[in-house]
């Protein structure tokens, strides 16, 4: 049986977050918002769905498990070249090893069909990116507070 270890009890291990985002500007904005929150997270960035899958399976350019650890949380854009967010979602949720990792859709789309599809596919949360940076920053703060203080993350092997 899986014994869930609460985040609160794991001392203060920094949380590894994987961001899959193809838009260069959005990557910079997200990194800056995380920096601004002054949190001790490791934020890893990949630029499309294919890289995201490589990262998660620690293959291709991401073979070094010390440099590229399994993430505790995944921030996933929907519209990406090669393999899109939904495909990544489907792939991870069908993998018994990776399916516990919470996936948070982080997208510009407010489209109802996208929202329904994300939750149906097993996403843990759906967040739309605000246009204004202050709002973006607040959103990241709220995100961190919820996922790292209130929520209890599943264990990492």
Q: Which is nearer to other proteins, 58 or 151 (CB)?
A: 151
List, in order, residues 6 or more apart from 112 with CB less than 8 Å away: none
Binding site for other proteins (CB under 8 A): 6, 8-9, 11-12, 14, 23, 25-26, 28-29, 32, 37-40, 108-111, 129-134, 136, 141-142, 144-145, 148-149
- Smallest CA-to-CA distance from 108 within 29, 6, 18 is with 29
Q: How far is the CB of 140 from other proteins (least distance, A)?
A: 9
Vertex 28 angle, CA 63 and 44, to 5°: 20
Strand residue runs (E) in the chain: 15-20, 41-46, 73-76, 103-107, 125-128
The neighbour count for residue 41, using CB atoms within 10 Å, is 17
Q: How far is the CB of 58 from other proteins (least distance, A)?
A: 26
Q: Which is nearer to other proteins, 27 or 92 (CB)?
A: 27
Q: Which is nearer to other proteins, 60 or 154 (CB)?
A: 154
Q: How far is the CB of 141 from other proteins (least distance, A)?
A: 5
Interatomic CA distance for residues 54 and 46, integer angstroms: 10
Q: Which is nearer to other proteins, 98 or 127 (CB)?
A: 127
Q: How far is the CB of 26 from other proteins (least distance, A)?
A: 6
- Smallest CA-to-CA distance from 46 within 76, 72, 67, 69 is with 76
Interatomic CA distance for residues 88 and 18, integer angstroms: 13
Q: Which is nearer to other proteins, 23 or 125 (CB)?
A: 23
Q: How far is the CB of 34 from other proteins (least distance, A)?
A: 11
């Amino acid at each position: 049986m899986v014994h869930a270890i609460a985040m609160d009890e794991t001392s203060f291990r920094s949380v590894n977050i994987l961001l899959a985002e193809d838009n260069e500007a959005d990557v910079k904005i997200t990194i800056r918002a995380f920096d601004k929150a002054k949190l001790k997270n490791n934020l890893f960035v990949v630029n499309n769905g294919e890289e995201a899958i490589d990262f998660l399976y620690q293959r291709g350019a991401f073979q070094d498990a010390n440099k590229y650890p399994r993430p505790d949380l995944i921030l996933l854009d929907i519209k990406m070249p090669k393999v899109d967010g939904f495909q990544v979602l489907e792939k991870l949720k069908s993998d018994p090893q990776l399916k516990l990792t919470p996936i948070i859709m982080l997208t510009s789309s407010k489209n109802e069909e996208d929202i329904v599809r994300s939750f149906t596919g097993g996403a843990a949360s759906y967040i739309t990116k605000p246009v204004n940076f202050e709002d973006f920053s607040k959103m990241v703060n709220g995100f961190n507070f919820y996922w790292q203080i209130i929520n209890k993350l599943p264990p990492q092997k």
